[in-house]
């Protein structure tokens, strides 16, 4: 029989058949969009208000790229990346797992002419879309609060989609490995929470001990923050290519691993 | 002979050193209903999974429509298949009509075509009044019929149904059978796995009996019964019934005697002398009936409960 399919590490076989799967998720979401939006943006805004205005009044200004910026601006530009990360991760873990394992939606889909590879792609893009949607709503609130008026926010928008893609891909690895929802707690506490504190969202990474910083500089969330933060301040990011490549590398490698592990899970 | 819709040749599947499907061959002719029966763990679901390209075979070939091979041509094959899996995979967030819409899109059907087909399919499934109900509001039988309607959205040539009536009450089961018979009358072909022998007898033109991954019998239900069994059965049960199995006088009147639990089964070609002789035990209850598929199934696969059942 076909040896190609036996190899879970075979290159992804992708086609436009992901689109009806994506549309399926979109149709469910349309029914719940407003309550889900409230849930998605309430928490990030609480962070912003509590830390930005509360802690910000104590901290005052933060040095960034050789200039002093208000702490709320520093925090907002970093926490928006965290929101993209969290929105994508939740969707690609809890929601995707519900569809894959609990509801057996994926099994149903694969009885139609849709490959598993396209289902995984659809879930990845869907989680990234959810991240983009959340981020857009938060950006709207930030504009309303007058935190930033940089026209370069238009560039930050697609960058944040890229952040969503990278974290969707990573989350799908853990989705493929999960036996139950409890497993995702590890991912959040062992990966995402440390990343949140090490990536320069709440304070500049320069404050970290040198060894920790050397690692933290290469985290995908650091790359995201380094790309997005200057755009909030109407400046172009330094080393944009390097940061972009970090995100692309994490995305491609994670997607491949996620796909291989998902194929393994479904191969009976 | 016409080209078989599905032809399976020397299929093998192993898990570690356990062979769960062993050199299995069968085919389905256009317009035919083929039933696959066998105890739990016989390899039925594994066979269906391989036929759907969801599981890799270790040897053998699966050919559809004369020239398309699973899994290489999986997508082209699935365009023409309708599948009802053992577990319902309906979308709980969608209404019945939306379930059809979303599933039709997986086949690349335009919404216009799906909307045209939806009323007929819901009517066929006796669910016209439930178009806006979500699966959570449907009974078990309704959900199964919605799954069947969903499997018909692409107007398939061949249906693969894995235990389509398991877990349904008798009314729902009869309605399902009637719906499947309508499909057969329309000339559709069906591959069906089942644990219900009356279902197999009623719907299937031919049967495949699997056990431990082997094909142990194949043929028309009536032919199989005639080939393997005496035409009549007398069951005797009640206090002390099992002792009758050792009565030489009764044994001589039956071709074959079996004991299961507290019941003795006498298989015979001429039941009257046996029934007359049994009058000597008026306290025991007797049931005289023609032999059926269930007898055949139990003869071929044994009466023991399977360890993995």
| Residue A28: strand pairing partners | none
ipTM of the complex: 0.91
Rounded to the nearest angstrom, the minimum Cα separation between A257 and chain B is: 20
**Two tokens at B176?**
């399902």
Interior CA angle at A119 toward A113 and A125, to 5°?
135
State the pLDDT at residue B306: 63
- Model pLDDT, residue A4: 40
Interface-testing mutation among B8, B21, B93, with chain A (most A C-beta atoms within 10 A): B93
List the single best residue of A108, A114, A116, A118 to mutate versus B (max B Cβ within 10 A). Answer: A108
> Is A24 in contact with B81 (Cβ distance < 8 A)?
no
Q: How many CB pairs under 8 A join A and B?
A: 81
d(CA B270, CA B230): 9
The verdict on B102 touching A (C-beta cutoff 8 Å) is yes
- Nearest chain A residue to B59, by CA: A1
B93/A31 CB distance under 8 A: yes
User: Which residues of B fall within a CB distance of 8 Å from A268?
Assistant: 46, 49, 54-55
| Nearest residue in chain B measured CA to CA from A116 | B54
Which residues in chain A have their CB less than 8 angstroms from residue B56's CB?
1-2, 5-6, 267
B46/A111 Cβ within 8 A: no
**Per-residue pLDDT for B282 more than 60?**
yes
- A65, A235 contact by CB (below 8 A): yes
pLDDT given at position B271 = 87
pTM of the model: 0.92
Residues of B in contact with A104 (CB under 8 A): 85, 87, 89
Helix (H) or strand (E) holding A194, with range, is helix A193-198
How far is A191 from chain B, CA to nearest CA, in Å? Answer: 32
Query: What is the per-residue pLDDT for B309?
Result: 46
| 8 Å CB contact between A27 and A37 | no
B238 at A interface, C-beta within 8 A: no
Q: DSSP string covering chain B, please?
A: -PPPSEEEEEEEEEETTEEEEEEEEEEE-TT-EEEEE--TTSSHHHHHHHHTTSS--SEEEEEETTTEEETTTHHHHHTTEEEE-SS----TTS-HHHHHHHHHHHTT--HHHHHHHHHHHHHHTT-GGGTT--GGGS-HHHHHHHHHHHHTTT--SEEEEESTTTT--HHHHHHHHHHHHHHHHTT-EEEEEES-HHHHHHH-SEEEEEETTEEEEEE-HHHHHHHHS-SEEEEEESTTGGGGGG-HHHHHH-SEEEEETTEEEEEES--HHHHHHHTT-TTSEEEEEE--HHHHHHHHH-SSPPTT-
For residue A237, the 8-state DSSP code is P
Residues 6+ apart with CB under 8 A from A139: A80, A153, A156, A157
Q: pLDDT for B66-123, tens place per residue?
A: 999 999 999 999 999 999 998 889 999 999 999 999 999 999 999 999 999 999 999 9
When pLDDT is averaged across residues B147-169 and rounded to a whole number, the result is 94
Q: Which domains occur in chain B, in start order?
A: 6-225 (3.40.50.300), 230-290 (3.30.70)
pLDDT of residue B132 exceeding 80: yes
What pLDDT is recorded for position A3? 39
Chain A residues touching residue B105 (CB < 8 angstroms):
20, 23-24
How far is residue A168's CA from residue A85's CA, in Å, rounded to a whole number?
8
Are B90 and A17 an interchain contact pair (Cβ–Cβ within 8 Å)? no
Residue B137: partners with Cβ closer than 8 Å, 6 or more residues away: B130
Percent residues over pLDDT 70 in chain B? 97
CA distance B206 to B208: 7
Search chain B and give the residue with CA nearest A263.
B54
Integer Cα distance of A192 and B146 in angstroms: 41
In tens digits, what is the pLDDT along chain A, a chain of 268 residues? 343 456 899 999 999 999 999 999 999 999 888 887 887 778 788 888 888 888 888 888 898 878 899 999 999 999 999 999 999 999 999 999 999 999 999 999 999 999 999 999 999 999 999 999 999 999 998 998 899 999 999 999 999 999 999 999 999 999 999 999 999 999 999 999 999 999 999 999 999 999 999 999 999 999 999 999 999 999 999 999 999 999 999 999 999 999 999 999 998 6
More confident residue, B13 or B247: B13
């Amino acid at each position: 029989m076909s040896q190609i399919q036996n190899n879970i590490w075979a290159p992804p076989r992708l086609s436009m058949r992901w689109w009806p799967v994506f549309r399926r998720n979109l149709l469910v979401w349309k029914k719940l969009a407003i309550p889900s939006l409230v849930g998605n943006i309430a928490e990030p805004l609480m962070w912003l208000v509590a830390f930005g205005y509360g802690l910000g009044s104590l901290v005052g200004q933060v040095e960034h790229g050789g200039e002093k910026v208000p702490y709320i601006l520093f925090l907002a530009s970093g926490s928006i990346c965290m929101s993209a990360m969290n929105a994508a991760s939740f969707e690609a873990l809890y929601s995707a797992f519900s569809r894959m394992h609990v509801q057996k939606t994926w099994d149903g889909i694969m009885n139609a002419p849709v490959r598993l590879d396209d289902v995984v792609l659809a879930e990845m893009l869907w989680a990234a879309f959810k991240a983009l949607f959340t981020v857009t709503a938060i950006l709207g609130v930030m504009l309303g609060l007058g935190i930033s008026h940089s026209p370069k926010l238009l560039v930050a928008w697609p960058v944040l989609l890229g952040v969503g893609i990278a974290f969707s891909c990573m989350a799908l690895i853990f989705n493929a490995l999960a036996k139950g929802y409890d497993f995702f707690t590890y991912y959040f506490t062992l990966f995402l929470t440390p990343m949140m504190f090490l990536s320069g969202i709440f304070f500049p990474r320069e404050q970290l001990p040198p060894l920790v910083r050397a690692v933290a500089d290469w985290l995908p969330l650091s790359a995201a923050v380094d790309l997005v933060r200057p755009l909030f301040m109407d400046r172009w990011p330094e080393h944009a290519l390097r940061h972009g490549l970090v995100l692309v590398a994490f995305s491609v490698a994670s997607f491949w691993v996620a796909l291989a592990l998902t194929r393994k899970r479904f191969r009976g | 002979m016409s080209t078989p819709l599905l032809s399976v040749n020397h299929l093998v599947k192993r898990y570690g050193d356990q062979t769960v499907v062993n050199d299995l061959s069968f085919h389905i002719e256009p317009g035919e209903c083929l039933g696959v029966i066998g105890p739990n763990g016989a390899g039925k679901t594994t066979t269906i999974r391989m036929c759907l390209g969801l599981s890799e075979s270790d040897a053998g070939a699966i050919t559809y429509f004369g020239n398309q091979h699973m899994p290489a041509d999986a997508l082209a094959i699935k365009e023409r298949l309708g599948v009802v899996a053992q577990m319902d995979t309906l979308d709980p967030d969608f209404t019945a009509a939306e379930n059809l819409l979303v599933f039709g899109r997986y086949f690349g059907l335009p919404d216009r075509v799906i909307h045209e087909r939806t009323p007929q399919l819901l009517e066929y499934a006796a669910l016209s009044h439930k178009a806006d109900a979500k699966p959570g509001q449907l009974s078990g039988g309704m959900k199964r019929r919605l799954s069947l309607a969903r499997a018909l959205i692409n107007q398939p040539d061949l249906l693969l149904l894995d235990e389509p009536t398991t877990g349904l009450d008798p009314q729902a089961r009869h309605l399902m059978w009637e719906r499947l018979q309508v499909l057969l009358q329309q000339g559709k072909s069906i591959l069906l796995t089942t644990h219900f022998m009356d279902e197999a007898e009623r719907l299937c033109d031919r049967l495949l009996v699997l056990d431990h991954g082997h094909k142990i019998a194949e043929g028309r239900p009536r032919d199989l019964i005639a080939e393997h069994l005496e035409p009549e059965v007398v069951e005797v049960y009640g206090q002390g019934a099992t002792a009758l199995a050792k009565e030489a006088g009764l044994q001589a009147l039956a071709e074959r005697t079996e004991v299961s639990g507290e019941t003795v089964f006498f298989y015979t070609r001429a039941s009257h002398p046996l029934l007359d002789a049994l009058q000597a035990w008026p306290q025991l209850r007797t049931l005289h009936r023609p032999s059926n598929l269930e007898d055949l199934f139990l003869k071929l696969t044994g009466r023991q409960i399977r360890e993995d059942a």
